Structure 1
Amino acid sequence: MLTFDGLVPDRWFELSAPMRADPAEEAVDVGDFAAVGIEFRAPDGSGIDFGRVPGLQQTGMDAHGAWLAGPLGGSARTLPDLRLCFHLPAPACQVVVTIRSWRNSHVVHVDDPILRQMPVDMPGSGAEAGTTATLGRDRIVLGREPTWFHYGLVPGRPITLRGQLVRTEASDGAFVAIAYRDRAGALIAPPYPGVMATPSLPAWLSVRGPSGPVYTRDGRMKLSAAGELQDLEGRAVLDPGGSPLSVNPENGPIFIGRDGMISQGRDQIGALGVFRLDPGAVLTRVNGAAVSSSTPGQAVLDFNQVGATSVSVQQGFQEGANVNPVMEMSRLIMITRNFESAATAVAETESSMQNAIRTLGPAS
């Protein structure tokens, strides 16, 4: 495995290396003697899954790569040198190269592999007139303004959306919302039972920010010495009207109902502000697990709705992911075992074919 970093994206590169086969090598005149796998990585070291990379193909063993032909028959056993040209898509700036050979009967030598950038005047290199070659990639740069994708749905048929978020600098991630609309464009409830989606971003709590209210999904709170209800960052928790909430620390435990009403004993202190944000609002992360919104949130006043639009507050619960790690690990183990079984079967088939050739072939 070879790693090349500090590369310039959107340029063509050539991977080259002399290769030598043993004079006694038995696997000759085959088109898939070895495979070169290319993995692309972002500046933070995370892998990037590109749909297409010019110059490379999908080998079945790696996302991108190429097959290498075996040595020619005869006494010399000459093995062609490795020479592979491919385009480095942005924002990748690191390449990991893996060379595999499973047909060889003897050791194969790869000498001094080099990855060099092709001349900038090469067609498609991305340097002509200071432009950047996109080569037809569907790459979208996310920003503060929301980017919406529109798809038509067929009743009774599932739809799968697949993509990858790649960051080129420090980032806390991105927000994703799924909205269902009718032919006129009006929001509707999710039409398919069991679909993990909401017609807008979920409900939020509101806390006081430096320039006005900000919104958070983190429901952990604490009390200040003066009895003010605060989040873990020390910001005042707000009620539906945007005013801070205060309690008497000496009056015992605090209870919060499913409608956000706060009480101590028999006294009702106030209501926890629960808000919905406009799906088209521009969200900006602020300190801690909170965001500011370009449009003010709308307070939720009706907690009796049912279905996808229902909202309730649950005290003493922790919001978790919709992924079961144990189940996913079990599935990963099962897939790995299936792959190993298939690889073993292929290897046994190849071995049987080689034995048959040796047995049935004419004696030299």
Structure 2
Amino acid sequence: MDINAPVGLSGQIALARRLETIASNVANAGTAGYKSEAVTFATVVSKTQPFQTSFAFGGGPHVDLSGGGFKQTGNPLDVAVRGQGFLAIATPQGAAYTRDGRMQMLPTGDIVTLEGHAVLDAGGAPLTADPDGGALDIGNDGTMRQNGRTIGALGLFTLDFARGYSRYENSAFIPAAAAVPVDDFARDGIVQGFVEESNVNPVLEMTRLIAVQRAFEAMSASLEQRDQALRETIQGLGARGG
């Protein structure tokens, strides 16, 4: 059995998936709160006789939870998340979790994201404030005060990405497992008046992009050479038989 083609194809599929994540990272290098992704791969060994054969198996994506830089805006409705927590927002697909802490207050007093999604507290309820009550003061634990009066608290959650997730819009995630509220604010917390930038390193991602493209081209060339050699062999055997 000729296993060269299946092995080469498995490698190309793996590289194509890596290329997709790199392209997404580069496209979101300027997206607030964006967490870059990579793809983890495994090797599947077939015990087809007479030799064991290794196939590339494209594993799931892996989220890089390293922090992005904090950019000071001075806007009291901008917050950055310190540590590995996520803010909760309401979406048509259910609760999603994001590091993009750019918020706005509607004339109704509802606290929403720039895209209009309601920002949630630790219990999953939408946050509201008095639109005529003055600026908000937001503490490290997410507590929101207006004129010295506590009006609510931003929900802060940790996610288990190992159990699966999907992305929502650009920087938000919808996890397969339930998010866990943060109760220790020594490591995780809120910083008011700042926005977290993407943790994508554009130079590094472009370097990876070039490396993956070259590897893909080399693998394609190798498969083409193998096909050409096979065609020549068949033609040679055919000529002898004639």
The TM-score normalised by the length of structure 2 is 0.53
Larger strand percent: 2
Aligned partner (choices 156, 167, 176) of residue 285 of structure 1: 167
| 1:128-277 correspondence runs (5 A) | 132-134=6-8, 137=11, 140=14, 165-167=18-20, 175=37, 202-277=84-159
Query: Which runs of structure 1 show a deviation greater than 6 angstroms over 4 or more consecutive aligned residues?
Result: 322-325
Aligned partner (choices 302, 326, 336) of residue 184 of structure 2: 302
Equivalent pairs, count = 155
1:227 and 1:247 in contact (8 A); partners too: yes
| 1:86-105 correspondence runs (5 A) | none
1:177 and 1:279 in contact (8 A); partners too: no
C-alpha deviation, 1:246, in angstroms: 0.4
C-alpha deviation, 1:265, in angstroms: 1.4
C-alpha deviation, 1:300, in angstroms: 0.4
Does 2:197 align with 1:320? Answer: yes
Report the CA distance shift for 1:237/1:142 in structure 2 as closer, same or farther (over 3 A): farther
SS across alignment from 1:314: strand
1:233 and 1:288 in contact (8 A); partners too: no
* 2-structure distance, mates of 1:141, 1:276: 30
* 1-structure distance, mates of 2:94, 2:116: 15
SS across alignment from 2:14: coil
- Give unpaired runs (5+ residues) of structure 2: 27-35, 41-64, 68-82, 204-242
For CA contacts below 8 A with separation 6 or more, give which structure has more relative contact order: 2
Report the CA distance shift for 1:323/1:137 in structure 2 as closer, same or farther (over 3 A): closer
SS across alignment from 1:238: coil
* 2-structure distance, mates of 1:177, 1:272: 32
What is the identity percentage for the equivalent residue pairs of Structure 1 and Structure 2?
Answer: 35
- Give unpaired runs (5+ residues) of structure 1: 1-122, 127-131, 144-164, 179-195, 305-309, 329-364
C-alpha deviation, 1:167, in angstroms: 2.0
* 2-structure distance, mates of 1:300, 1:177: 28
Instruction: Indicate the RMSD between aligned Cα atoms, in angstroms.
Output: 3.9
Structure with higher Rg: it is 1
C-alpha deviation, 1:175, in angstroms: 3.0
Larger helix percent: 2
* 1-structure distance, mates of 2:159, 2:103: 22
* 1-structure distance, mates of 2:126, 2:101: 15
